Structure 1
Amino acid sequence: MKNLDIAILRSFVAAADYGSLVLAAEYVSRSQGALSMQISKLEDMVGQKLFFRSKSGVKLTEAGTNMLTYARKILSINDEAITATESSNLQGVLRLGIPQDLGLKYIPELLGQYKRAYPNIRIITHVDSNHNLSVRVRESELDIAFLFSTIKIEDATFISSLATKWIGAKDYVFNDNTPLSLIVPPAPCHYRDMAQNRLKEQKLNWQLDYISGNMLSIWAAAEAGLGLTIRNSLNIPPQLQTLDHINQLPPLADSTLWMLESTNNNHKIRQQFINFLCPKLTQMLSVHV
């Protein structure tokens, strides 16, 4: 009987989630060549081609899709066993920072799972702007922060890449004769900067008509027809629409989610938390890629 290697399965799942051997290799902390060899070894073991490979990345074959289902189950049971064994010995506090995009839906669900698995670890969660979270991690006020950015964040780990969208009310109509009304967070904000810079490049007139650091307030303003905003593809309310069909609006760069760690001494809890949460978060976000 053949035995599947947990490390190889983890690399396989990462490649499936990211659709890229380069990004998957970065996630599992291996070279691209080493990860590619792992995938080939798994394909040899099961006697099936698991990925279609192209210059743009990798895509699961039918056999790969079937294998992914089992790989997730095996990894889940493996991680659950490790968690159950370790949980009684691990205790302490971890300070986590997240942006509003993740605070509305994804992270709270995962934190609930984590708390049940590790009842002796207290998680203090701060929901803040990407800029403030970055500063607080570098000043060791937070142990870990998840940040959205359109550029690479130094010393951060790639988690996922999401489309950035122009968003407006269901009845939003583009008007060439009037400046675009923008609904944006306060500066500094990469979404705000991206919107302004792309409109300038297209020589479109715009004005800041609604500024709020509260995401729900931004959604409400857009629904009321006060203007348009930009955001990643997470949590867009059903009463709003993406404005991809308006050709006059310039295309936007993807929003990348990064994980930034402090250099403080809280390493064991921090690493254990990362091992628990990141694979689950990546899987959740993969449907939005």
Structure 2
Amino acid sequence: MRHFDTDSLETLVTIVDRGGFTAAGEALGKTQAAVSVIVSRMEARIGKRLLERSRKGVTPTFAGEILIGYARRILSLEDEALAAIGGDEAAGRVRLAVPDDFVDMMVSPLIGAFSRRFPRVQLEMRCDLSFRLEPMLERGEVDLAIITQDPARPLGEVLRREPRAWCAARDHRPELIDPLPLAMFPEGCRCRPDALAALDAMGRPWRIAYTSSHMPGIHSAVNAGMAITILGISSIPKEWRRLGEEEGFPELPLLDIALVVPANASVATKRFATFLRETVLQQEALAA
């Protein structure tokens, strides 16, 4: 038989989204052993390894990435079919958790279209740093989350790999100050460590001149000329300057922006997740 069963596909997706076999089993109501058996059977049938296990967690192989992409689409179509047959129009509340530097680039473009398509869904948004949002999702305080992936414990599906840049206000030159003044998100922000390590590696003295948990605070400090900052390029205001190698600033690693959707998500939550994926794909197609 050449068919995949959706239970196995859901198990595979949940392992990747939850970061491991045990967490996936808890989300799906299965034992870790049962989850392992499902994956082993899929790998035996396909003849390729789908997941790599390590101390850092579970990551998909190249074949696994391909299958997971199809699996998400198959599961989404299954939900749509069941909703269409049962007349299950999406309704209720969707509580989205997202760092506020991702709101304009990923959330704002879709909420109007989503609300028109699903007028019975109430949207709520919680903004905070990713390391605080993940526990909220685990405790059931929010329904889905957009996060910056933790390289040591990658959760969810990667929506976008976002380039980052050093940036400053157009009419100020804080990059000429020594030590270099920085406006940063607080400790725990996943963008901080490699940026600070890059400055240390090049021997550039720095100091944290300003800290804020939210984007408006970072904007205020940079616009006042207090400091430079680091943002994803989609979040940099058009009137700011980007600082690169010519100004003596090192290139930074890409930022992995991921979507985490629980296995037991509501119909409305799944619809929002699908809208978000489609919006990101459309943005990438227009940028190509």
Q: Common fold, TM-score beyond 0.5?
A: yes
Q: What is the alpha-carbon distance in structure 1 between the residues aligned to residue 93 and residue 252 of structure 2? A: 38
Match 1:29 to one of 70, 74, 82: 70
Q: What is the alpha-carbon distance in structure 1 between the residues aligned to residue 110 and residue 286 of structure 2? A: 17
Change (3 A) 1:277 1:104: closer
Q: What is the alpha-carbon distance in structure 2 between the residues aligned to residue 243 and residue 150 of structure 1? A: 25
Give 1:189 deviation, angstroms: 0.4
Partner of 2:186: 186
Change (3 A) 1:110 1:242: same
Change (3 A) 1:198 1:117: same
Q: Deviations over 1:242-285 (max 9, x none)?
A: 1014352222111111011234x334333232223211123225
Q: Deviations over 1:166-208 (max 9, x none)?
A: 1112242644x82111110111101222222221222221111
Alpha-carbon contact 1:100-1:128 (below 8 Å) kept? yes
Matched, 1:195 2:195: yes
Matched, 1:109 2:105: no
State the one-letter code of the partner of 1:157. Answer: E
Q: How does 1:97-246 map to 2 (within 5 A)?
A: 97-149=97-149, 151=151, 153-170=153-170, 171-172=172-173, 174-175=175-176, 178-246=178-246
Q: What is the alpha-carbon distance in structure 2 between the residues aligned to residue 258 and residue 120 of structure 1? A: 26
Between 103-112 and 237-246, report the one with greater CA deviation. 103-112
State the one-letter code of the partner of 1:272. Answer: R
Change (3 A) 1:250 1:109: closer
Q: What is the alpha-carbon distance in structure 1 between the residues aligned to residue 182 and residue 63 of structure 2? A: 36
Alpha-carbon contact 1:174-1:246 (below 8 Å) kept? no
Alpha-carbon contact 1:110-1:277 (below 8 Å) kept? yes
Between 145-154 and 246-255, report the one with greater CA deviation. 145-154
Aligned length: 218
Q: What is the alpha-carbon distance in structure 2 between the residues aligned to residue 178 and residue 23 of structure 1? A: 48
The gaps in structure 1 that reach 5 residues or longer are 1-20, 32-77
Q: What is the alpha-carbon distance in structure 1 between the residues aligned to residue 139 and residue 284 of structure 2? A: 28
Q: What is the alpha-carbon distance in structure 2 between the residues aligned to residue 193 and residue 139 of structure 1? A: 27
The gaps in structure 2 that reach 5 residues or longer are 1-61
Give the root-mean-square deviation of aligned CA atoms.
3.1
Q: What is the alpha-carbon distance in structure 1 between the residues aligned to residue 64 and residue 282 of structure 2? A: 14
Change (3 A) 1:269 1:164: same
Give 1:120 deviation, angstroms: 1.8
State the one-letter code of the partner of 2:270. Answer: Q
Q: What is the alpha-carbon distance in structure 2 between the residues aligned to residue 172 and residue 286 of structure 1? A: 35
Partner of 1:12: none
Q: Deviations over 1:128-154 (max 9, x none)?
A: 222221221122211110112462753
- SS of 1:182's partner is strand
Alpha-carbon contact 2:105-2:234 (below 8 Å) kept? no
Normalising by structure 2, we get a TM-score of 0.65
State the one-letter code of the partner of 2:249. Answer: L
Partner of 1:283: 282
Q: What is the alpha-carbon distance in structure 2 between the residues aligned to residue 204 and residue 254 of structure 1? A: 21
Q: What is the alpha-carbon distance in structure 2 between the residues aligned to residue 117 and residue 275 of structure 1? A: 12
Q: What is the alpha-carbon distance in structure 2 between the residues aligned to residue 229 and residue 287 of structure 1? A: 27
Q: What is the alpha-carbon distance in structure 2 between the residues aligned to residue 26 and residue 172 of structure 1? A: 49
State the one-letter code of the partner of 2:281. Answer: T
- SS of 1:154's partner is coil
Give 1:220 deviation, angstroms: 2.4
State the one-letter code of the partner of 2:244. Answer: D
**Identity of matched residues, %:** 21
State the one-letter code of the partner of 2:173. Answer: Y
Q: How does 1:256-267 map to 2 (within 5 A)?
A: 256-263=256-263, 265-267=264-266
State the one-letter code of the partner of 2:145. Answer: A
Change (3 A) 1:285 1:26: farther
Q: What is the alpha-carbon distance in structure 2 between the residues aligned to residue 157 and residue 185 of structure 1? A: 24
